[in-house]
């Protein structure tokens, strides 16, 4: 059947000589959902890149306030990074558990992911609160403005992710591993890993480069 269609096509269109691979039709829902979410993640990364760009432009504009090397605490940043990287691993475990329909490991994986996310958020919040208390809030200088915004934007994403994570656990609890719940779980996992990738950028551009100067 497809051979005849191909032959007819090749005849009608002089640019297509030989075999034409026929498009098989609409993709299954799982593919469509994941694909759409990938596209969303790309757009989200574009948004982050604006904050990165703003940071790069404003990083030297300290307006007499502190420089990065004077306020960054590498120990905290290291713990934060370890938390996030580990949470990506546990999130992966939860995804595998969902794929094999194992509730126990799913809940465990998600719970540990949540815990690590919360530890990250608490450390970040304390860092921010400490800076504000020392008079180095975002209004102090354009550098601090861009620092708080970039890191805070990532933190907001992690907060939203945590909320989503809890919702996913509740969904699995109430609805089980239904096809639509699994699709959402896949999107959540993509989201969580993407935040990790963004953090690698934040870690490198803000903390590593900033500590040296």
Partner 1 sequence: MLGKLDWSAIPFDQPIPLIAGAVVLVGILAVLAWVVVKGHLPYLWHEWITSVDHKRIGVMYILLASVMLLRGGSDAIMMRIQQAVAYQSQGYLPPEHYNQIFSAHGTIMIFFVAMPFVIGLMNLIVPLQLGVRDVAFPTLNSVGFWLTATGALLVNLSLVIGEFARTGWLAFPPLSELSYSPGVGVDYYAWSLQISGVGTLVAGINLVTTVLKLRTKGMNYLRMPMFCWTTLASNLLIVAAFPILTATLAMLLLDRYLGFHFFTNEAGGNVMMFMNLIWAWGHPEVYILVLPAFGIFSEVVSTFSGKALFGYRSMVLATMAICVISFMVWLHHFFTMGAGPDVNAIFGIASMIIAIPTGVKIYNWLFTMYGGRIRFETPMLWSIGFMVTFIIGGLTGVLVAVPPADFILHNSMFLVAHFHNVIIGGVLFGAFAGFEYWFPKAFGFRLDERWGKLAFWFTFLGFYVTFIPLYVAGMLGMTRRMQHYDVAAWRPWMLVAAAGMAVLTIGVICQIVQLVVSIRNREALRDRTGDPWDGRSLEWATSSPPPVFNFAFNPDVRGEDAYWDMKARAQQQSLEHGGPEYQDIEMPRNSPTGFVCAFFATIMGFALIWHIWWMVILGGIGAFATFVVFAWRDHDEYVIPAEEVAAIDRVNLEERRSLVSMAGTV
CB of 112 to partner 1, least distance (A): 23
Q: What is d(CA 141, CA 69) in angstroms, rounded to the nearest whole number?
A: 15
Q: Which of residues 83-142 bind partner 1 (CB under 8 A)?
A: 138-142
DSSP class of 18: S
Shortest distance, CB of residue 82 to partner 1, whole angstroms? Answer: 29
- Smallest distance from the beta carbon of 111 to partner 1, in angstroms? 19
171 lies in the site for partner 1, by CB under 8 A: yes
Q: Which residues contact 29 (CB under 8 A, 6 or more apart)?
A: 179, 183
List CB contacts of 141: < 8 A, sequence separation 6 or more.
61, 62, 63, 64, 65
Task: Select from 19, 63, 78, 213 the one that contacts partner 1 (CB under 8 A).
Answer: 63
- 25 touching partner 1, by CB under 8 A: yes
- Assess 58 for contact with partner 1 (CB under 8 A): yes
CB nearer to partner 1: pick between 75 and 133: 133
Q: Which of 29, 44, 36, 38 is nearest to 182 (CA)?
A: 29
Task: Using only the alpha carbons of the chain, give its radius of gyration.
Answer: 23
Contact 34, 183 (CB under 8 A): yes
DSSP 67: -
14 binds partner 1 (CB under 8 A): no
Establish how many alpha carbons lie within 13 A of residue 24's alpha carbon, considering only the half-sphere containing its beta carbon. Answer: 2
Residue 42 within binding range of partner 1, rule CB under 8 A: yes
Of residues 70, 73, 99, 180, which one binds partner 1 by CB under 8 A? Answer: 180
**By the criterion CB under 8 A, which residues form the site for partner 1?**
5, 8-9, 12-13, 15, 20-27, 31-33, 35-36, 39-40, 42-44, 46-47, 50-51, 53-54, 57-58, 61-63, 138-143, 145-146, 148-149, 163, 167, 171, 174-175, 180, 184
């Amino acid at each position: 059947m497809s051979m005849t269609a191909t032959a007819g096509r090749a005849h009608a269109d002089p640019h297509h000589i030989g075999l034409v691979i026929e498009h098989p039709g609409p993709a299954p829902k799982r593919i469509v959902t994941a694909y759409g979410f990938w596209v969303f993640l790309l757009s989200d990364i574009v948004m982050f890149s604006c904050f990165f760009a703003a940071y790069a432009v404003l990083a030297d504009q300290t307006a007499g306030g502190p420089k990065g090397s004077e306020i960054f605490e590498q120990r905290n940043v290291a713990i934060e990074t370890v938390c996030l990287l580990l949470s990506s691993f546990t999130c992966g475990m939860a995804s595998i558990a969902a794929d094999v329909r194992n509730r126990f490991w799913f809940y465990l994986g998600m719970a540990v992911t949540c815990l690590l996310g919360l530890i990250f958020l608490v450390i970040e919040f304390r860092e921010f609160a400490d800076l504000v208390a020392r008079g180095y809030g975002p209004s102090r200088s354009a550098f601090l403005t861009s620092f708080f915004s970039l890191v805070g934007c990532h933190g907001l994403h992690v907060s939203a992710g945590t909320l989503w994570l809890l919702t996913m656990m509740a969904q699995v609890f109430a609805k089980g591993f239904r096809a639509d719940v699994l699709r959402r779980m896949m999107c959540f996992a993509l989201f969580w890993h993407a935040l990790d990738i963004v953090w690698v950028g934040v870690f490198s551009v803000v903390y590593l480069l900033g500590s040296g100067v």
